[in-house]
Structure 1
């Protein structure tokens, strides 16, 4: 199959039907009316409006995650907008999510993400980065009018490649990042063709504001990732600052595979295939429960604990490591390693032999030493020689115990 026939075959599954749009719009508009009524009742100078993929008309069929902005008049700039909004949403029992300015999740038939922002008319009025968010919608609708379906393709492609999501426990390609990338490259296919040439660190500046100097001009802490994507609305911001190298690599790899052999399979979210993991090497599988009620908090702790175990299995040559989680309380960790048994002792490097005093102290601490490559060394007994033994020790570590609940084999 060629690219065009694959993409034409996929699109009807991604674009919401007229009937679906009608049903969802009715539900969403009803909720907007209810929130605005509550804002009026509280006598707040604010208006709830649609945001994100729904306002941009790039949402996927069957995907009912809806962003809303509650735009507060600038007269509220000295107020805590998150607390004001929480009082408005109280009857819907929202989940408060920590951010540069806290926002809220409400889950019923649809999952709503409700973000308090100042209704700014110019950049100087902004008190927080989120105040620019409605401007992102305007930018996409202006610059991406003919690319809405390309954005849908890119979004579904990332979901299938398991590299999509702005949540702090995923750190993948956000919807906003995908919007910019598709518009920057003038299409989905063009994006993939550009991506196969990417090497960290990639710097993309749609408006050429920084004239090739974005890495030096932007906040250093925000340019440490593999992709520096200058926000066209906030040029001092890297829109892809949260993207991990792992998710960056997943996208580039999927792009290469698709361009080599296009298939509709690249747009299908597949369940984890345990049998494929087993074929890669020695598999260790754990069932893990999360303890926090808030999804973002629980998910972040779950993934951080997973990464701690994975990173401490390095001596066993980790081939692959995967997690899955139901976003409520149940999850799994899978570690595939090459080595199933290590030597009982490992060489431990000491100071250079020319550092006489340090060598003397090292010899005091270790009875048996030897010299190699101009350093003093000793042999230290490992705390575990099999991956199972190591994992059992790691899951007892306070770092893991403080982040997740029960772990079973």
Structure 2
């Protein structure tokens, strides 16, 4: 296994030239900023580049402007962004949002994020969530040597392979800092995987701030990893149950049959003809709700898109249509898609309403009053009263159309609701006329690449 991991590392570790290039861009921006900012504002490179845990071709640098603690948050944001815009000009930039806005610029193929924050010496001085980052950097550098940096790289690439790297709401996975802490805890990539293979409700506290019982009472999450620089924070809060489960299974699978396939994907090709054959073979009804992407940042877009999909599914199921599955996707620019796969998409014109058992006198009376205008009954079946009602909706497509016309009435979140009013529906193979084949293929091909290793 050592030979395998060494060969993987050769492919994922940045070359000295790449590191030098990234740092030269960072120093260039720092140099420009120093000519603009007041003397009491400090500059610090943080993130994976500064901690030497970055992957080859990541090409991103995090640069923090550290303002004195007596600066108001309003002043920090307004002045910080103004300084940043001047420093990166004339390169293209856009505003990103964490707890407060920051600037994201593209400079010679490298993404540079300039983040205004407060300079703090300990976590008790924290005024915003981003203030922790320099403390994280110092903690990791105090614990790491070159070997452990490489172990983090292996872990990041492993997680990327099955789509659970990244704490953003689109992914709900493992952040870079969480990866670093897991290596601090277990010492190496393989030791982490050996332990993770047997995880049951894992709770990790490197600095032993809490009892295990105290951790579980304080943090309700599938994975708990206490931040060594902030005892009141779970670094793994973003990790979903699905992401954690995939990691545990992939760990077992890799230890059984290690291969480079756990780090690098084979190029797989598929045609629309193959997708159409798969769709027809399932014998279900596919409906795609397509609408413009609202102008919001990804961390607002993805949870709202998820809530919208869940709400549509819930209302279809309340109307007694049966869903086989669903998914959602966006290019984060022009289009959003909610994909529905229905086992039952049409229903009879009538439905049977089953009431209470006849022994419940008051409930029986209420049921009869409620259904006195039923087209059949109420009458007795077995020991219950039942009624036959006219169904309000018999076609799932009609209900979905109704939801897109008045999305707010169906608990669709605000930003999605505005865009969904311009939605159009695609059914079955008509979906293939649009350019989201990869999304559709990922939905139809759900088998994890490592799953056979678990047999």
Question: Scaled by the length of structure 1, what TM-score is found?
Answer: 0.81
Does residue 235 of the first structure (1) align with residue 236 of the second (2)? no
CA distance in 2, matches of 1:370, 1:7: 71
Q: Quick check: 356-365 or 282-291, which moved more?
A: 282-291
What is the rounded CA distance, in whole Å, between the counterparts of 1:303 and 1:140 in structure 2?
34
Deviation at 1:285, TM superposition (A): 6.5
2-side partners of 1:381 and 1:290: how far apart?
38
Match of 2:16 in 1: 18
2:99 is matched with which residue? 100
Q: Which runs of 5+ in 2 are unaligned?
A: 427-455
CA contact 1:283–1:334 (8 Å) conserved in 2: no
Alpha-carbon distance, 1:217 to partner: 5.7
Q: Kindly state the Cα deviation for residue 5 of structure 1 after the two structures are TM-superposed.
A: 3.5
Contact 1:302 1:403 in 2 (8 A): no
Note the alpha carbon deviations across 1:156-192, whole angstroms, 9 max, x for none.
Answer: 1111111122223332211111111222121112222
Q: Deviations over 1:65-108 (max 9, x none)?
A: 32222111223266542233122223457544443344333344
Task: Output the CA distance in 1 between the equivalents of 2:382 and 2:115.
Answer: 58
Tell me the SS of whatever aligns to 1:284. strand
> Would the alpha carbon gap of residues 194 and 35 (structure 1) be closer, same or farther in structure 2, given more than 3 Å must change?
same
Pick which of 19-28 and 322-331 moved more.
Answer: 322-331
Shift in Å at residue 11 of structure 1? 1.2
| Aligned position for 1:402 | 418
Q: Which moved more, 1:47-56 or 1:361-370?
A: 361-370
1:125 shift after superposition: 2.2
Q: What SS class does the counterpart of residue 224 from structure 2 fall into?
A: strand
Cα distance in 1, alignment partners of residues 4 and 381 from structure 2: 59
Residue 140 of structure 1: CA displacement? 1.2
Tell me the residue number matched to 1:37: 35
Distance change in 2, residues 1:288/1:88 (3 Å): same
**1:72 and 2:73 equivalent?**
no
* 1:194 equivalent in structure 2: 195
Residue number in structure 1 paired with 2:77: 82
For 1:126-275, list aligned pairs within 5 A: 126-145=126-145, 146-199=147-200, 201-215=201-215, 218=218, 223-268=219-264
Gaps of 5+ in 1: none
Structure 1 residues 66 and 78 mapped into 2: Cα distance closer, same or farther (>3 Å)?
closer
1:245–1:80 Cα change, 3 Å: farther
Deviations along 1:196-240, one digit per CA (max 9) or x if unpaired, are 2233x321111121021343563xxxx332111111111111111
**CA offsets per residue over residues 97-155 of structure 1, 9 Å max, x none?**
44334433334422233322221123332223322211111111122323111111111
Q: Judging changes above 3 Å, is the alpha-carbon distance between structure 1 residues 356 and 383 closer, same or farther for their aligned structure 2 residues?
A: same
- Distance (whole Å) between structure 2 residues aligned to residue 401 and residue 80 of structure 1: 34
**Aligned-partner Cα distance in 1 for 2:4–2:285:** 35
Residue number in structure 1 paired with 2:322: 316
Aligned Cα RMSD in Å? 3.5
Matches for 1:346-385 after TM superposition, within 5 Å: 356-366=361-371, 367=374, 368=377
> Which is greater in Rg?
2
Is the counterpart of residue 291 in structure 1 residue 294 in structure 2? yes
Q: What is the alpha-carbon distance in structure 2 between the residues aligned to residue 310 and residue 290 of structure 1?
A: 20
Residue 334 of structure 1 and its aligned partner are, at CA, apart by 4.4
- The separation in 1 between residues aligned to 2:383 and 2:79, in whole angstroms, is 65
Q: Helix, strand or coil for the counterpart of 1:254?
A: helix
Decide whether the 8 Å contact of 2:404 with 2:423 is kept in 1: no
